[in-house]
Amino acid sequence: MMWECQQYQADEGGRITQPTQEYRSKRFIQRLLQAGKQQVEKPPSLLERLHLRSSKQEEWWKTLSIQDPYDKWYEITEQFMSRSLTKDTDVLPALSGLAQAFQPVLNDVYLAGHWKKEIMATLTWSRNAIYPSDQSTRFDLTKPSRYLAPSWSWASILGNLSAMTNTWKVRDALASSTLKTAEIIDVYTIPKGDDPIGQVNGGELVLRGRFFPLHTLPPVWTVSNPFPDEPSNLPAFSALERLTYNMRIVDVLIYEYYQKHIPHRGQTFGLIEIIRWKAAPGSGIPGMDFLLLESTEERKWRRVGEVTVRKNQLPQTEYVGEEAYAFLVLENEAFAEVETRGWKKRTVTIL
């Protein structure tokens, strides 16, 4: 058992220590709740009404070494992803109280674990796979018991943490290093009950951007065939299609596909380009980010993964090995394909 205050924490053995980083997060939440309450209760002053004093809220979070409250949300979200819930449908209800506290400070619309003003920066999330403790199968077999969230939300699958704390890099790069971004025409969620920021029944993200049809995707992972061989009757692939098909060997990609794939007759697949980078965050090299989509019976789309393509400076083969070198060559060929092929823009609705 632990006792905590703003200055110290103590355990039942009497040991007293300084607050940890985790407790500094709690201090932030305490201030967040206070700020939200003051914003609701405190009317504008006379000076504010006369525009002689700014009504803009003080950026108190900087006193806690936090540059942007969005970043704190992503940090908390990342920690939350590693938790095990007794009921998987509690994923959004468990965050609704925090989201309600953040909302007046961010002055933003909450969307199933995301925020509307930051939606472009958070669309390329990925979640690490859950592995069985006895390593008896490639992945844990558990899938969501029912609908959790729209497929474009990280809350739509069961998985371990994602690098959400890197979102600030994407946000900064979006402001200075993009060549093109997809147009967000609409995005919304449909609450399941009375809580507008709790559990959801549905939601849509409507994007307009360059769309790249794909012939096929690899077989879905199964226990009996965890690393399936390629079928002999595959069509001739372009470099981008080959790069995408190779997702079958990447755990984080094939795991999301396993969690989400719902086949139907006449199903089609594609990539929609959401960001074209002059200098991609992290690497600083040109590239593109895509959402990997499969069609639904409603003639709309479902996100089943994300694909990145970068233009690499090729190293000497002996420095990286033949397999890694071949991948970099393929990625460069896919980059050139995207640059030169005349795929048209399409408006897609992602459920």
pLDDT in tens, 82-126: 777 888 888 899 888 888 888 888 889 999 999 999 999 999 888
Question: DSSP per residue over 142-155, as a string?
Answer: ---SS--S-TTSGG
Distances (CA, A) of 14 to 2, 3, 24: 10, 10, 21
Residue 28: inside a domain, yes or no?
no
- Rounded-to-integer distance, Cα 182 and Cα 185, Å: 9
Distances (CA, A) of 78 to 27, 32, 178: 18, 19, 26
Residue 6: inside a domain, yes or no?
no
Contact criterion met (CB below 8 Å) for 210 and 276: no
Q: Is 238 helix (H, G, I), strand (E, B) or coil?
A: coil
**Total domains, the chain:** 1
What share of the chain has pLDDT > 70, as a percent? 80
Residue 127: inside a domain, yes or no?
yes
Residue 259 domain boundaries: 65-350
Residue 39: inside a domain, yes or no?
no
pLDDT tier, 29 (very low <50, low <70, confident <90, very high otherwise): low
287-296: pLDDT as tens digits? 999 999 999 9
pLDDT tier, 1 (very low <50, low <70, confident <90, very high otherwise): low
Q: At 289, give phi and psi (nearest 5°).
A: -115, 135
- Rounded-to-integer distance, Cα 106 and Cα 195, Å: 19
Strand partners, 306: 291
Residue 297: inside a domain, yes or no?
yes
Residue 54: inside a domain, yes or no?
no
- Rounded-to-integer distance, Cα 102 and Cα 35, Å: 10
Write down the mean pLDDT value for the chain. 82
Residue 213: inside a domain, yes or no?
yes
pLDDT of 245 > 80? The answer is yes
Residue 107: inside a domain, yes or no?
yes
45-87: pLDDT as tens digits? 555 455 444 445 556 555 445 567 788 888 888 888 877 788 8
Check residues 307 and 134 and name the one with the higher pLDDT. 307
pLDDT of residue 23: 47
Based on the number of CB atoms within 10 Å of its own CB, is 174 exposed (0-12), middle (13-18) or buried (19 or more)?
middle
Distance from first CA to last CA of the chain, Å, rounded? Answer: 44
What share of the chain has pLDDT > 90, as a percent? 35
Contact criterion met (CB below 8 Å) for 295 and 267: yes
- Please tell me the least confidently modeled range out of 82-91, 144-153, 212-221: 82-91
